[in-house]
Amino acid sequence: MAIRAGPDAAAELEIALVLGAFIAVTSLFSFLSLGTGAASLAGAGDAGYPVVAAGSPCLEAVWDIRSAGGQNADTLTLTVAPTEPGMPVDMARATVTVMTPCDLETLTYSAAAAPEPGAWTVAAQENGNGDAVLEAGEIFTLQIRLPSPLPDGADVRVIIRPESAGPTVLTRTIRTVDGNAPVPA
């Protein structure tokens, strides 16, 4: 076999090097993104960082959705707690989506005590330290201000998706008879 020199050989070598680098980087990325071997990378007993599957929710509803606004509900309130003790949830970076049979709205986070229509906020904290990060042992009350009021009997789905975790989905029927009463599941 003869060794070739020239522009064709250099181009072929360059293509081979780029292809090899591409395979190495994609293999490493898939290995880390799937969480495969996370415990073995950081040590046998400690994973180094919390690993939660992308599809598993890290929030649970402690108190159910409550609605307020008279005949038509314009505000939903619900209370959430973390399900993973070692995984804090930055609620300011979470996405809240409200779905009805006729509408789909992604709401914006607001640090204000009373959010504007189309926004949501952390209205109260139990055992919290004042920031928007939900940690083990803390319970947050979320106040969701709907973009448009919902009538009594309307079906609503609230989807809370924290960054890098699966969504928490609550599907309920609005009951506006008593704005402070829990909505039946």
Report the distance separating Cα 174 and Cα 171, nearest Å. Answer: 10
Report the distance separating Cα 163 and Cα 133, nearest Å. Answer: 12
Question: Which residue reads 């994973």 in tokens?
Answer: 47
In the chain (185 residues long), the average pLDDT of successive 10-residue segments reads 68 89 87 59 46 64 72 85 83 89 88 88 82 86 88 87 84 68 44
Output the pLDDT for position 86.
Answer: 78
pTM: 0.62
Output the pLDDT for position 29.
Answer: 80
CATH topology for 59-173 is Immunoglobulin-like (2.60.40)
Report the distance separating Cα 117 and Cα 24, nearest Å. Answer: 49
* Domain extents in the chain: 7-42, 59-173
Q: Which residues contact 122 (CB under 8 A, 6 or more apart)?
A: 91, 132, 140, 141, 142, 143
Output the pLDDT for position 40.
Answer: 47
Output the pLDDT for position 174.
Answer: 81
Output the pLDDT for position 69.
Answer: 66
Query: Is residue 122 helix, strand or coil?
Result: strand
Output the pLDDT for position 5.
Answer: 67
Output the pLDDT for position 17.
Answer: 92
Question: Which residue reads 């880390």 in tokens?
Answer: 32
